Amino acid sequence: MSENIWPGTYNRYSGRWKKIVRGNDLLGILMTVNGTALPLHLLFCPKQGRANTGKPSLLISVLSCLIEEFNAEGTDITSFPITLDSRSVSEDPKQKLAALGFKNQE
């Protein structure tokens, strides 16, 4: 696979790998039904460090829109379990998810 296939790649310092890496930062939201993954949203995230563009903020924004869309069709998606990567589950995003209506199922 060529490095040129993905437009918008950039170099950034990775705290995980402790070096400069090249790539995209994505936020994907999937719903699984009977073991089948259905993509609901995919967002190319900008570089970190810009105002209000961190993944947790983008996640809350996208979920707010999805809640509205599903509510318009009569489905409350806040009643479904939600699984997040470890970076998205700090206290602030947890509180914002609770404010949207998602319940803590620990």
Q: What is the pTM of this model?
A: 0.69
The residues near 54 (Cβ < 8 Å, ≥ 6 apart) are 48
Provide the phi-psi class of 74: left if phi over 0, else alpha when psi is between -120 and 50, else beta.
left
Q: pLDDT class for 71, splitting at 50, 70, 90?
A: very high
CB 20 within 8 A of CB 11: yes
Count how many Cα atoms sit within 13 Å of the Cα of residue 15 in the half-sphere of its side chain.
2
The mean pLDDT of the chain is 77
